[in-house]
């Protein structure tokens, strides 16, 4: 046996990949598990999008390697989508870089900008990939706190106390995973000023911008942001295309060039039919977006009822694909509570501590199952409560 690298040995297995194996084993035993633990949209994209995919796949030239930065038409569509939704003008020639999902962008941004010994400011709780990517690049993850008391938003005074001469990058994500917190323009402006003062690259991860969010915001709309910030976005959640793997990085050309260079050694553009179908998805009209919002709203209402029944407390002020709820008092920790829901109700929700120390005491519930399944689950929980009262 040839040993994996120290880097690979240091990296623990991703919680969700392990848990999904456990869930498959339960299903093999005949249980039907309702998975509200993963932010994996269950709805299909617009049928026009799949038709475009099929038609494009039938073209003889569809199967070749593609340009490293994908087609100008895809970059134009992404740029127009940014203008429409966020009021941000991006030059499609060099301020938009298509990605194989934004997760890939997190890794390549880290490889492009971090040296061993650099420090990266990372939200706790937050999407776990930021820290793994930093460590893979040889840098050190320094966590900043997000807490209920501060609306799950960064405290610039705390960031000032954590910054050092080796701080190189700061990760932000609004609407937040897992908390759903939404930052205002003033919050983002303060963070841009902080990054500018310390010359830190601000990486804003924005995949939930268009889900149950009244005022979608791009950090690139903030004054001065183009000089110090880049933004990741994705079609995974906004267009129900998580398996397609299509994301983007937006920002100043010089920043994107560094990422494109690293990427060119690991991938060779995106499958042409996916690019062509993505253009159709990006051109979706208002009616398509609002139908999606209504579906998520109906699901969110049912999940709120479920959380009430379970005596979990939550705020409905957030946006995005999740409800972030405090577990009832008396439970040892969020893993124990998540295991209890799995064994008692065949329900999987994500334990909050997967997202960091400040996630302890919380669960994250994704809006990614149909209303009928949620209503059935709600009835099961209500009946369970009744039968335990009768005992």
Ligand X SMILES: Cc1ncc(COP(=O)(O)O)c(C=O)c1O
How far apart, in whole angstroms, are the C-alpha atoms of residue 30 and residue 372?
Answer: 20
The binding track of 196-235 with respect to ligand X, each residue x by CB under 6 A or -, is ---------x-x--------------------------x-
Contact criterion met (CB below 8 Å) for 44 and 240: yes
Query: Considering beta carbons, is residue 177 or 358 the nearer one to ligand X?
Result: 177
Among 146, 145, 179, 171, smallest CA distance to 321 is for 179
Query: Considering beta carbons, is residue 103 or 299 the nearer one to ligand X?
Result: 103
Asked if 103 interacts with ligand X (CB under 6 A), we say: yes
Cis peptide before 328 (omega within 30 of 0): no
Q: Which positions from 357 through 376 interact with ligand X, judged by CB under 6 A?
A: none
Asked if 101 interacts with ligand X (CB under 6 A), we say: yes
Residue 200 phi, psi (nearest 5): -115, 140
User: What is the smallest separation between the CB atom of 101 and ligand X, expressed in angstroms?
Assistant: 3
Residue 325, beta-bridge partner list: 314, 363
Asked if 174 interacts with ligand X (CB under 6 A), we say: no
Asked if 247 interacts with ligand X (CB under 6 A), we say: yes
Stretch that binds ligand X, among 100-108, 112-120, 154-162, 289-297 (CB under 6 A): 100-108
How far apart, in whole angstroms, are the C-alpha atoms of residue 11 and residue 7?
Answer: 6
DSSP H helix total and E strand total for the chain: 15, 13
Stretch that binds ligand X, among 101-109, 131-139, 158-166, 215-223 (CB under 6 A): 101-109
End-to-end CA distance of the chain: 56
The binding track of 49-88 with respect to ligand X, each residue x by CB under 6 A or -, is ----------------------------------------
Residue 227 phi, psi (nearest 5): -75, -30
Reduce the DSSP state of residue 126 to 3 states and report it.
coil
Asked if 175 interacts with ligand X (CB under 6 A), we say: no
Stretch that binds ligand X, among 12-20, 95-103, 187-195, 379-387 (CB under 6 A): 95-103
Residue 172, beta-bridge partner list: 204
Asked if 35 interacts with ligand X (CB under 6 A), we say: no
Q: Which residues contact 346 (CB under 8 A, 6 or more apart)?
A: 26, 31, 32, 33, 34
Q: Which of 71, 79, 173, 358 binds ligand X (CB under 6 A)?
A: 173
- Where do contacts with ligand X occur on this chain (CB under 6 A)? 39, 101-103, 127, 173, 177, 205, 207, 234, 236, 242, 247
């Amino acid at each position: 046996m040839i040993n994996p690298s120290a880097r690979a040995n240091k990296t623990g297995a991703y919680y969700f990949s392990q848990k999904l194996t456990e869930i498959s084993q339960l299903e093999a035993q005949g249980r039907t598990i309702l998975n509200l633990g993963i932010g994996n949209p269950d709805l299909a994209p617009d049928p026009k999008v799949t038709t475009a995919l099929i038609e494009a796949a039938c073209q003889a030239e569809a199967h070749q390697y593609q340009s490293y930065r994908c087609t100008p038409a895809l970059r134009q569509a992404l740029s127009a989508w940014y203008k429409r939704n966020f009021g941000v003008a991006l030059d499609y020639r060099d301020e938009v870089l298509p990605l194989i999902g934004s997760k890939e962008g997190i890794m390549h941004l880290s490889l492009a900008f971090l040296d061993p010994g650099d420090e990266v400011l990372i939200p706790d709780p937050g999407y776990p990939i930021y820290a793994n990517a930093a460590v893979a690049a040889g840098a050190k993850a320094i966590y900043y706190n997000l807490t209920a008391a501060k609306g799950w938003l960064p405290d610039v005074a705390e960031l000032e106390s954590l910054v050092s001469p080796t701080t190189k990058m700061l990760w932000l994500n609004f609407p937040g995973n897992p908390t759903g917190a939404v930052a205002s323009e003033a919050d983002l402006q303060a963070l841009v000023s902080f990054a500018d003062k310390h010359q830190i690259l601000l990486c804003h991860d924005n995949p939930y911008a268009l889900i149950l969010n009244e005022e979608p915001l791009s950090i690139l709309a903030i004054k001065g942001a183009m000089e110090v910030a880049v933004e990741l976005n994705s079609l995974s959640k906004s267009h129900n295309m998580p398996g397609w793997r299509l994301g983007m990085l937006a920002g100043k050309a010089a920043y994107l060039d560094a990422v494109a260079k690293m990427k060119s050694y690991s991938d060779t553009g995106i499958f042409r039919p996916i690019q062509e179908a993505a253009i159709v998805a990006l051109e979706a009209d208002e009616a398509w977006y609002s139908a999606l919002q209504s579906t998520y709203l109906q699901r969110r209402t049912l999940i709120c009822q479920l959380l009430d029944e379970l005596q979990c407390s939550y705020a409905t002020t957030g946006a995005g694909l999740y409800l972030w709820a405090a577990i009832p008092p008396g439970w040892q920790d969020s893993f124990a509570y998540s295991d209890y829901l799995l064994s008692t109700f065949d329900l999987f929700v994500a334990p909050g501590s997967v997202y960091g120390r400040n996630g302890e005491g919380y669960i994250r519930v994704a809006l990614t199952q149909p209303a009928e399944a949620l209503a059935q689950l709600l009835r099961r929980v209500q009946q369970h409560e009744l039968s335990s009262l009768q005992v």
